[in-house]
Amino acid sequence: MIQNLTLRYNENVGEGIACLLSKLPQLNTLLVNGSVNNAIAPFFSFGRNATNLRSFTCECYTVQEINCKDISNTLVAEMPNLTSLHLNLASTTLLNFSDLQLMSITELELCCSRMEGCLTLPQNVVSVTKLILNTETSSAEEIAAVLVNFTNLITLELDFFRNHDIRFNATLVEVLVGLNSLKYFSFFDAFYSKEKYYTLNNGEKSALVEVLVALKNVDKIKIEFCQQSYEDDDLVTAVNNLVAKRPQQNIQLIIPDNDFDLNDCLSENSNSLYGFDSDYDDYGDGYGNDSDFSDDWYRRTMD
């Protein structure tokens, strides 16, 4: 009896997948991985053969546009029992985000190039407790606008690796601090810079540090950068002070040494680049398997 299935395809094979699913009535987890050369727009359709799915992951790296209404049509009509949705669409523009209907989704991953149109959903999505967000937008306001739709988050993973020109500003700080149910916060970026993070008090204060200071009730915090920078010492000092004041929190800061190869970072953190946290792939309630999570608050291997 097959319950979990991973499919890789080199062409548009929605009907073929639907036919296969009709023979697997007990299937509850499906991952569909597409090639770079084949679009999935408007979106997959599996007929009535995906009604038992609990988890659906779609990976596609084609440059394309997908209307969120088409995604919603599939979810509502064909996947009524879905609780976990991972849209790994790194080069895709998602149109009309406000048309996204998430029903009973509790775990959501949104990895895309950008989102266009209104970013406010008709109502707050209280069912989603875990959100993984990764876009190429240069606007912190856009990310904040997406986050305010999810007021009941327990787990949040933000990936800023592709947000080269974004400024982590007061608007984003306010939204993050307002996530009162949050218990696990993960943040990933290329490097720590004044241009990107020192945006408060006329550039005198780090917005990221202010977030860490404010997240007093979060149990686990993981901050990771791929490269060193001149401002690392300021961040290390701030985190060190927090750890001394809050021994009840598990705070991890990861910064590689000077010999670190960025390509290695992309390879080793390929899941993180597209929104997954390899150390926390099973913590939907914010407390999952953390056997790889170091007891040390800080891991830094500098010469």
Dump pLDDT digits (tens) for 68-122.
Answer: 999 999 899 989 999 999 999 999 999 999 999 998 999 999 999 999 999 999 8
Letter string b/e over residues 1-39, b meaning 16 or more CB atoms within 10 A of that residue's CB: eeeebeeebeeebbeebbebbeebeebbebbbebeeeee
Percent of the chain exceeding pLDDT 70 equals: 81
Q: Would you state the pLDDT for residue 35?
A: 65
Whether 280 is in a domain gets the answer no
Q: Is the pLDDT of residue 4 over 70?
A: yes
Percent of the chain exceeding pLDDT 90 equals: 61
Q: What are φ and ψ of residue 267, in 5° steps?
A: -70, -50
Q: Would you state the pLDDT for residue 18?
A: 77
Extended beta strands in the chain, E state: 4-8, 29-33, 55-59, 64-67, 84-95, 107-116, 130-134, 155-159, 184-189, 220-225, 250-255, 298-300
Q: Is the pLDDT of residue 133 over 50?
A: yes
**Cβ of 142: how many Cβ atoms within 10 Å?**
20
Q: Is the pLDDT of residue 271 over 70?
A: no
Count of domains observed in the chain: 1
Whether 243 is in a domain gets the answer yes
Q: Would you state the pLDDT for residue 36?
A: 60
Amino acid at 235: L
Mean pLDDT of 278-286: 39
Residue (of 116, 152, 161) closest to 134 by Cα position: 161
250-255/184-189 β-pairing: unpaired
196-209 pLDDT, tens digit per residue, is 999 999 999 999 99
Whether 300 is in a domain gets the answer no
Whether 291 is in a domain gets the answer no
Mean pLDDT of 137-152: 95
Average predicted confidence (pLDDT) for the chain = 83
Mean pLDDT of 225-246: 93
Burial class of residue 152 in the structure, from the number of CB atoms within 10 Å of its CB (0-12 exposed, 13-18 middle, 19+ buried): middle
Confidence band, pLDDT 50/70/90 cuts, at residue 298: very low
Whether 260 is in a domain gets the answer yes
Q: Rounded to two decimals, what is the model's pTM? A: 0.83
**Termini Cα distance of the chain:** 53
Confidence band, pLDDT 50/70/90 cuts, at residue 134: very high
Of 41-55, 59-73, 137-151, the poorest mean pLDDT is in: 41-55
Q: Would you state the pLDDT for residue 257?
A: 76
Mean pLDDT of 16-21: 78
Confidence band, pLDDT 50/70/90 cuts, at residue 272: very low
Angle, helices 140-147 vs 170-177, to 10°: value is 20
Q: Would you state the pLDDT for residue 62?
A: 86
Strand partners, 57: 31, 86
Tokens representing 117? 């149109």
Tokens representing 28? 């509850």
| Structural domain of 265 | 4-271
Q: Would you state the pLDDT for residue 290?
A: 40
CATH of the domain at 36: 3.80.10
Amino acid at 8: R
Mean pLDDT of 129-141: 95
Whether 109 is in a domain gets the answer yes
**Cβ of 246: how many Cβ atoms within 10 Å?**
17
In eight-state DSSP terms, residue 282 is S
Strand partners, 189: 225
Confidence band, pLDDT 50/70/90 cuts, at residue 278: very low
Sign of CA dihedral 49, 108, 116, 222: negative
Contact 30, 36 (CB under 8 A): no
Residue (of 170, 172, 178, 176) closest to 199 by Cα position: 170
Whether 292 is in a domain gets the answer no
Whether 186 is in a domain gets the answer yes
